[in-house]
Amino acid sequence: MDDARYQIEDVKAREILDSRGIPTVEVDIEAGGEVFTASVPSGTSKGKREALELRDGGLRYQGMGVSKAVNNVNTLISQKLRFRDVTMQKDIDDLLIKLDGTENKSNLGANALLATSLAVCRAAASVQKKPLWKWISELSRRKPALPDPCILVMEGGSHGKGDLEIQEFMIVPEAKSFKEKLRISTEFYFKLGTILEKKYGRTSANTGLEGAFSPLIEDTEEALDIIAQAAKKLKIKNKVKIILDVAASGFCQKGKYFFEGEILNSEELKNFYLKICKKYPIFAIEDPFNQDDWEGFKELKSVLREKVTIIGDDLLTTNIGRIKEAADKRSCNGLVLKPNQVGTLSEAIEAGKEAISLGWEVFVKHRSGETKDDFISDLACGLGASYIMAGAPTRGERVTKYNRLLKIEEELTKFIA
């Protein structure tokens, strides 16, 4: 060990609550006499191939407790990590993977592994006196860049309280700086709220799990019309693009899509997408089909060509094997990157780099159950990902990610100057 400051002195985990009031894992890494903390988010509409979040079962917290995962960090992981060099991220992640010993991290839990992996990274950046994004850019050997924010304005599906089938309606405004993009999106969000309230009553401005409006509208086109109306009122009609996260696995049963009161096959759902892509400024669609419907993804991508990015989330689950398969099958040209789908930072970085090497867009994304941890902001920047999706521009666990990027924007200017 060259430098005692880089040595891991202690590892300690605890059970905390996420933004839904569901337990999750937080880990402290002690190094150089200081303590560095990270926590993991958790999904509601998860892909079936995601790494396993270890939950206790039983009566406590309705079975959702994470005391077993916490215990795994406080015993086995802590023993093995103490006195290791905190800057050896890849070695530490490989060790975590080996200690777990399963394909899907079901032994120690991806929640135990990822919280540790992220806390190690945060500690390493700090003991080296580097901003976190800078250290991640060194780990990933990528040029840092600010991502564009994809701001969530309406939500339905399993995240919403209203009637929309599509899970997420996001906007990406055009502007010169991140700061301006955030301002425009936030003004947009509030304008949309006013329109919804006026048109459908106060309950239509209620919000879903990720802070966006969750109106009692059933019809996707009606929702898109209201989004278009908000853009028109703000006189930014040609400066706002739309991204949809359909999360189609949520309304698919036995290969049929139960969508807006109809039962559609893949072809019919594809035709619906083609229709709305013609009518509205949609520039990307996430999970337009079920997580096993490779053909559906491929067909849609081939018709829309490069005009609309087809993003895989549940389809890919940040898994490098699935990304390669999607490339072979020509099913996607965009990756949602969620570190907790895979379980260690190094694997998440590898997945992101693979997608970038294929010429895809990378969308670093939060989960519906979030904490105040803003790690993904530094990750998106350090990886040079094109986009970040961190929810609505309201609620502490969402805005902390955007606020961190405001600071990174200043830091980047300073570092590049």
Catalytic (active-site) positions: 210, 338
Task: Using CB under 6 A, pick the residue from 290, 319, 368, 377 that binds ligand PGA.
Answer: 368
Cβ distance to ligand PGA smaller for residue 45 or 344:
45
Cβ distance to ligand PGA smaller for residue 44 or 214:
44
How far apart, in whole angstroms, are the C-alpha atoms of residue 40 and residue 167?
A: 22
Pick the piece of the chain touching ligand PGA (CB under 6 A) from 84-92, 270-278, 362-370, 379-387.
362-370
Q: Which residue is nearest to ligand PGA (CB)?
A: 43
Q: What's the token pair of residue 64? A: 């959702």
What is the smallest separation between the CB atom of 337 and ligand PGA, expressed in angstroms? 11
How far apart, in whole angstroms, are the C-alpha atoms of residue 174 and residue 237?
A: 11
Is 367 among the residues that bind ligand PGA (CB under 6 A)? yes
Is 49 among the residues that bind ligand PGA (CB under 6 A)? no
Q: What is the size of the binding site for ligand PGA (CB under 6 A)?
A: 9
Cβ distance to ligand PGA smaller for residue 31 or 335:
335
What is the smallest separation between the CB atom of 138 and ligand PGA, expressed in angstroms? 28
Residues in the chain: 417
Phi, psi of 170 (to 5 degrees): -115, 155
What is the smallest separation between the CB atom of 401 and ligand PGA, expressed in angstroms? 13
Task: Quickly count: other Cβ atoms within 10 Å of residue 88's Cβ.
Answer: 15
Cβ distance to ligand PGA smaller for residue 31 or 212:
212
How far apart, in whole angstroms, are the C-alpha atoms of residue 172 and residue 177?
A: 12
Pick the piece of the chain touching ligand PGA (CB under 6 A) from 63-71, 73-81, 300-308, 361-369.
361-369
CB 409 within 8 A of CB 163: no
User: How, if at all, do strands 252-253 and 256-259 pair?
Assistant: antiparallel
What is the smallest separation between the CB atom of 251 and ligand PGA, expressed in angstroms? 14
What is the smallest separation between the CB atom of 197 and ligand PGA, expressed in angstroms? 25
How far apart, in whole angstroms, are the C-alpha atoms of residue 53 and residue 69?
A: 8
Measured CA distances, 331 to 21, 259, 293, 323, 377 (Å)? 36, 22, 9, 9, 27
Cβ distance to ligand PGA smaller for residue 227 or 376:
376
Cβ distance to ligand PGA smaller for residue 32 or 208:
208
What is the smallest separation between the CB atom of 180 and ligand PGA, expressed in angstroms? 25
Is 245 among the residues that bind ligand PGA (CB under 6 A)? yes
Task: Using CB under 6 A, pick the residue from 122, 142, 241, 365 that binds ligand PGA.
Answer: 365
Burial class (CB in 10 A: 0-12, 13-18, 19+), 37: middle
Can you tell me whether residue 183 is helix, strand or coil?
A: helix
Q: Please list every residue from 313 through 332 that binds ligand PGA, using CB under 6 A.
A: 313
Beta bridge partners of 135: none
Pick the piece of the chain touching ligand PGA (CB under 6 A) from 22-30, 77-85, 120-128, 365-373.
365-373
Task: Quickly count: other Cβ atoms within 10 Å of residue 60's Cβ.
Answer: 12
Cβ distance to ligand PGA smaller for residue 252 or 412:
252
CB 336 within 8 A of CB 313: yes
Whose CA is closest to 245, among 339, 152, 354, 116?
Answer: 152
Q: Please list every residue from 16 through 45 that binds ligand PGA, using CB under 6 A.
A: 43-45
Q: Please list every residue from 147 through 186 that binds ligand PGA, using CB under 6 A.
A: none
Task: Using CB under 6 A, pick the residue from 6, 23, 27, 46 that binds ligand PGA.
Answer: 46
User: What mask, x for binding ligand PGA by CB under 6 A, covers residues 287 to 316?
Assistant: --------------------------x---
Q: Angle at CA 160, nearest 5°, toward 188 and 167?
A: 75
Phi, psi of 388 (to 5 degrees): -130, 140
**H or E element, residue 112:** helix 110-127
CB 364 within 8 A of CB 128: no
How far apart, in whole angstroms, are the C-alpha atoms of residue 367 and residue 265?
A: 28
Is 397 among the residues that bind ligand PGA (CB under 6 A)? no
Question: Which chain residues interact with ligand PGA by CB under 6 A?
Answer: 43-46, 245, 313, 365, 367-368
